[in-house]
Amino acid sequence: MIIDIISVLPELLESPLQHSIMKRAQEKGHLTVRVHALRQWAVNEYGQIDDYQYGGGAGMVMMCEPLAKAIEALQQHIRYDEIIYVTPDGERYNQSAANQLSLKGNLLIICGHYKGIDDRIRQQYVTKEISIGDYVLSGGELAAAVLVDSIGRLLPGVLNDETSALFDSFQDNLLAPPVYTRPVDFNGMKVPDVLMSGDHKKIEEWRYEQSIQRTKQRRPDLLDE
């Protein structure tokens, strides 16, 4: 999979994409992430990519021309299955959406900044708008990093144990059960006996029951869905 990202501040994406699982995914050739600085398509020699909004009001707006040029330049070399704009008013992101996007071929992510992008770009080029939560960030770079990480870890061959992702929270609309490791006794709190039993059928039943119980307590809305 190839994920291209258009950003005003590409430096913000360097660290999240160059360590841990995302680094290994790229080294193994399962994922290619390319970050493109929007200012290379600026409208003038001063690097302008934003302007005041029509109708007045605080905050600058990312202009049409740089974004259109960037998208069309990248489309000359690759076909995107989705052109995604990360924005607070987009569709709320969840595990199901991550699963679906992981099955795509190539993605283009546009990071907003300032007061966002000219709406005509959203109408003409964007195929999917995503929000990672009901809050506002200074820019879309952190949201883009969330998308890349959540999608990339689902690609075949990325995780050492490919079944691991199947038991993450939110798969099947359930939270993950509690997990334990050594020591068996920590400050008088012991690992549940069933996990020490070696009976895999009972262990799976216990984990499923714990998932349901934890979901009821913490996220009952998931069960309603």
pLDDT in tens, 119-156: 999 999 999 999 999 999 999 999 999 999 999 999 99
Residue 164 has pLDDT above 70, yes or no: no
161 located within any domain: no
Structural domain boundaries, residue 33: 2-152
The CATH number of residue 218's host domain is 1.10.1270.20
Same domain, yes or no, for 53 and 141?
Answer: yes
CB neighbours of residue 169 within 10 Å: 17
Task: Mark whether 129 and 197 lie in a shared domain.
Answer: no
Burial class for 9, CB neighbours closer than 10 Å (0-12, 13-18, 19+): middle
Which residues are CB-neighbours of 20 under 8 A, at least 6 positions away? none
Cβ atoms of 35 and 2 closer than 8 Å: no
Strands 106-111 and 128-131: unpaired
**What pLDDT is recorded for position 163?**
54
Indicate whether 125 and 213 sit together in one domain: no
Tens of pLDDT, residue by residue over 105-117, are: 999 999 999 999 9
Residues 91 and 190 in one domain: no
Mean pLDDT of the chain: 94
What is the average pLDDT across 152-181? 80
Does residue 30 belong to any structural domain of this protein?
Answer: yes
Written as six digits, the tokens of 214 are 């934890």
pLDDT value for 161: 65
Structure tokens at 185: 């006794």
Greater confidence (164 vs 182) lies with 182
Same domain, 145 and 174: no
For residue 201, tell me if it sits in a domain.
yes
What are 4's strand-pairing partners? Answer: 34, 108
pLDDT of residue 85: 98
Is residue 6 predicted with pLDDT exceeding 80?
yes
Q: How confident is the model at residue 185 (pLDDT cuts 50, 70, 90)?
A: very high
What is the DSSP code (8-state) at residue 139? B
pLDDT cut 70: percent of the chain above it: 96
Buried b / exposed e over 174-205, threshold 16 CB at 10 Å, is bbebeeeeeeeeeeeeebeeebeeeeeeebee
152, 185, 207 - which closes a domain: 152
What is the reported pLDDT for 82? 98
Task: Please report, rounded to a whole number, the percentage of residues in the chain having pLDDT higher than 90.
Answer: 88
Residue-wise pLDDT tens digits, 210-225: 999 999 999 999 998 7
Q: What is the pLDDT of residues 37-79, one digit of tens each?
A: 999 999 999 999 999 999 999 999 999 999 999 999 999 999 9
CATH number, position 16: 3.40.1280.10
Same domain for 118 and 7, yes or no, is yes
Instruction: Please tell me whether residues 180 and 75 are part of one structural domain.
Output: no
Q: Are residues 179 and 97 in the same domain?
A: no
**Do 26 and 107 belong together in one domain?**
yes
Instruction: Report CA-CA distances (Å) from 191 to 37, 156, 199.
Output: 50, 32, 15
Does 187 lie in the same domain as 144? no
Query: Structurally, how many domains does the chain consist of?
Result: 2
Instruction: Choose one of 152, 183, 205: the last residue of a domain.
Output: 152
Both structure tokens of 212? 């349901």
22-37: buried (b, 16+ CB within 10 Å) or exposed (e) per residue?
bebbbeeeebebebbb
Same domain for 141 and 208: no
In a domain, 162, yes or no: no
Last residue of a domain, one of 91, 121, 152: 152
Same domain, 135 and 47: yes
Residue 170 has pLDDT above 90, yes or no: no
163 domain residue, yes or no = no
* Predicted pLDDT at 166: 57
What average pLDDT does range 149-171 have in this prediction? 78
Could you give the angle at which helices 141-152 and 95-102 cross, rounded to 10 degrees?
A: 70
Q: Would you state the pLDDT for residue 216?
A: 96
| Spatial contact of 84 and 110, defined as CB atoms under 8 Å apart | yes
Q: Does residue 164 lie within any of the structural domains?
A: no
pLDDT at residue 168, as a whole number: 66
Q: Name the residue type at position 17.
A: L
